[in-house]
């Protein structure tokens, strides 16, 4: 491997790197670490090594500095923090306000402006709402073709805005829309994009965005930078960042952008939108979630989870195992590949607590775990744990809440 090397004099043969490698790509030969060809250059070993004996480097980094990379842009021309103000059916979705809160923090650290990017049709009043919630400027593109997210139109309009106004940082909510739109924009303008961030900060010395996100099913966290490309783009996980307080007296500027669109540029056509009929599916907005896991044994037993959720006025969640088994549709799934939730109360019934589940619910204020296995990892994050048979405990809890009322 050209980009990774072990400095033999520094390697003590301690094998920490071997243990840290998720790809089995390091072996010990004569008590020295040797990197195999299947190395993915993920950097876990560099971090694990106590002797700084492993280095990852880019050969082009130096040649770029020496002026070879003539295609490099003038990075200093890029200023300000942008957030994508996602709207659905004319209503701004909650993650937008979280992005404004976080964007405000980053803009202050950089001493630059915070702008919201709004695309849609007939959105009177929305720009001023975005200003009240933290934006200094709103770039507003209004066109009937933008009323509903369509990838080709949204990409074109935003790419045009980026080339004209040159933001330094661009944040997008990690929703189904954001995660489809952001990679398309990033690939078109050939910039870096970090997915589903849960932490953002500024390296104030280098003035670059530090983007932290879970990887490997939440088993590790990685901090990622995009030092040589602008804008620095990230999608941000909903329900993680804090909103900033709304101030109706805040001043800001609305810049009307004229989108250059024609219906002939359409690659896709949305024929219809079907609402999910079940009313309790919006897990990310729920204050109380009752979740069921493999311990339920079969699909029918989700009824006891539904009954408790109903008494509490909460939503029904599910572990990955139950979704995989086909016991419940995937939009109930909580976890790394499902939804990230942060309710006031999360009740986990018969869920053992694999890491990929824990990362999706550990921001809940209070967690109750009911499981028959006293060693289940879910108890490590539970505020209150009950070791017992869920088929006895859960119906009993439902019954008592029904008889005595939920509130005291």
Burial class (CB in 10 A: 0-12, 13-18, 19+), 322: buried
Q: Which of these segments, 111-119, 130-138, 188-196, 242-250, binds other proteins (CB under 8 A)?
A: 188-196
| Residues in region 167-186 near other proteins by CB under 8 A | 175-177, 179-184, 186
Cis status, amide bond into 334, omega within 30 of 0? no
Q: Do 226 and 232 form a contact (C-beta atoms < 8 A)?
A: yes
**What is the smallest separation between the CB atom of 2 and other proteins, expressed in angstroms?**
7
How many Cα neighbours within 13 Å face the side chain of 261? 25
CA 42-43-46 angle, to 5 degrees, is 160
- Asked if residue 336 binds other proteins (CB under 8 A), the reply is yes
Specify the 3-state DSSP secondary structure of 80: coil
Would you give the binding string for other proteins spanning residues 38-77, x where CB under 8 A is met?
Answer: xxxxxxx-xxx-x-----x-xxx-----------------
Of the candidates 351, 392, 344, 395, the residue with the CA atom closest to the CA atom of residue 373:
351
Residue number with CB closer to other proteins (205 or 269):
269
Of the candidates 64, 50, 66, 58, the residue with the CA atom closest to the CA atom of residue 5:
58
Would you give the binding string for other proteins spanning residues 214-253, x where CB under 8 A is met?
Answer: xxxxxxxxxxxxxxxx------------------------
Residue number with CB closer to other proteins (249 or 403):
403
| Residues in region 278-297 near other proteins by CB under 8 A | 281-282, 284
Binder of other proteins out of 141, 348, 356, 360 (CB under 8 A)? 356
Helix axis angle for 390-404 and 302-312, nearest 10°, is 30
- Asked if residue 354 binds other proteins (CB under 8 A), the reply is yes
Residue number with CB closer to other proteins (135 or 234):
234
- 278 Cβ contact list (under 8 Å, min separation 6): none
**What is the smallest separation between the CB atom of 219 and other proteins, expressed in angstroms?**
6
User: Is the Cα dihedral 184, 189, 195, 201 positive or negative?
Assistant: negative
Q: Do 351 and 293 form a contact (C-beta atoms < 8 A)?
A: yes
Residue number with CB closer to other proteins (138 or 312):
312
**What is the smallest separation between the CB atom of 254 and other proteins, expressed in angstroms?**
28
- Asked if residue 12 binds other proteins (CB under 8 A), the reply is no
- Asked if residue 323 binds other proteins (CB under 8 A), the reply is yes
- Asked if residue 337 binds other proteins (CB under 8 A), the reply is yes
- CA-CA distance, 237 to 388, in Å (whole number)? 34
**What is the smallest separation between the CB atom of 255 and other proteins, expressed in angstroms?**
26
- 208 Cβ contact list (under 8 Å, min separation 6): 202, 225, 226, 227, 232
- CA-CA distance, 342 to 288, in Å (whole number)? 9
**What is the smallest separation between the CB atom of 223 and other proteins, expressed in angstroms?**
4
- Asked if residue 274 binds other proteins (CB under 8 A), the reply is yes
Residue number with CB closer to other proteins (138 or 316):
316
Specify the 3-state DSSP secondary structure of 231: coil
Residue number with CB closer to other proteins (3 or 247):
3
**What is the smallest separation between the CB atom of 286 and other proteins, expressed in angstroms?**
12
Binder of other proteins out of 13, 23, 31, 62 (CB under 8 A)? 23
- Asked if residue 9 binds other proteins (CB under 8 A), the reply is no
């Amino acid at each position: 491997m050209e980009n990774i090397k072990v400095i033999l004099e520094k390697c003590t043969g301690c094998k920490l790197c071997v243990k840290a490698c998720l790809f089995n790509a390091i072996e010990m030969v004569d008590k020295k670490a040797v990197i195999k060809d299947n190395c993915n250059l993920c950097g876990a070993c560099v971090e694990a090594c106590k002797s700084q004996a492993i280095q990852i480097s880019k050969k082009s980094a130096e040649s770029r500095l020496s002026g070879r990379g003539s295609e490099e842009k003038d990075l200093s021309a890029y200023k300000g923090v942008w957030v994508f103000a996602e709207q659905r059916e004319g209503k701004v979705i909650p993650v937008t306000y979280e992005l404004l809160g976080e964007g405000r923090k980053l803009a202050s650290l950089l001493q630059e402006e915070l702008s919201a990017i709004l695309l849609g049709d007939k959105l009177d009043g929305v720009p001023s709402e975005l200003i009240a919630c933290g934006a200094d400027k709103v770039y507003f593109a209004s066109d009937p073709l933008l009323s509903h997210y369509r990838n080709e139109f949204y990409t074109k309009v935003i790419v045009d805005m980026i080339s004209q106004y040159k933001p330094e940082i661009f944040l997008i909510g990690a929703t189904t829309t954001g995660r489809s739109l952001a990679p398309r924009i990033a690939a078109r303008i050939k910039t870096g994009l970090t997915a589903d961030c849960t932490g953002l900060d500024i390296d104030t010395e280098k003035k670059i965005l530090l983007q932290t996100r879970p990887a490997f099913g939440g088993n590790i966290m990685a901090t990622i930078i995009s030092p040589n490309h602008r804008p620095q783009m990230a999608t941000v996980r909903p329900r993680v960042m804090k909103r900033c307080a709304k101030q109706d007296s805040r001043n800001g500027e609305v810049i009307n952008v004229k989108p250059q669109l024609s219906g002939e540029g359409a690659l896709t056509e949305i024929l219809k939108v079907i609402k999910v009929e079940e009313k309790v599916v919006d897990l990310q907005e729920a204050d109380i979630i009752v979740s069921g896991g493999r311990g339920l044994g079969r699909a029918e037993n989700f009824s006891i989870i539904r009954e408790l959720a109903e008494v509490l006025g909460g939503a029904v969640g599910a572990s990955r195992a139950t979704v995989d088994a086909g016991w419940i549709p995937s939009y109930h799934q909580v976890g790394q590949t499902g939804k990230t939730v942060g309710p006031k109360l999360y009740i986990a019934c018969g869920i053992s607590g694999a890491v990929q589940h824990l990362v999706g619910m550990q921001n809940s204020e209070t967690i109750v775990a009911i499981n028959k296995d006293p060693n289940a990892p879910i108890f490590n994050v539970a505020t209150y744990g009950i070791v017992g048979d869920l088929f006895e405990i859960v119906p009993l809890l439902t019954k008592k809440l029904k008889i005595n009322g939920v509130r005291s």
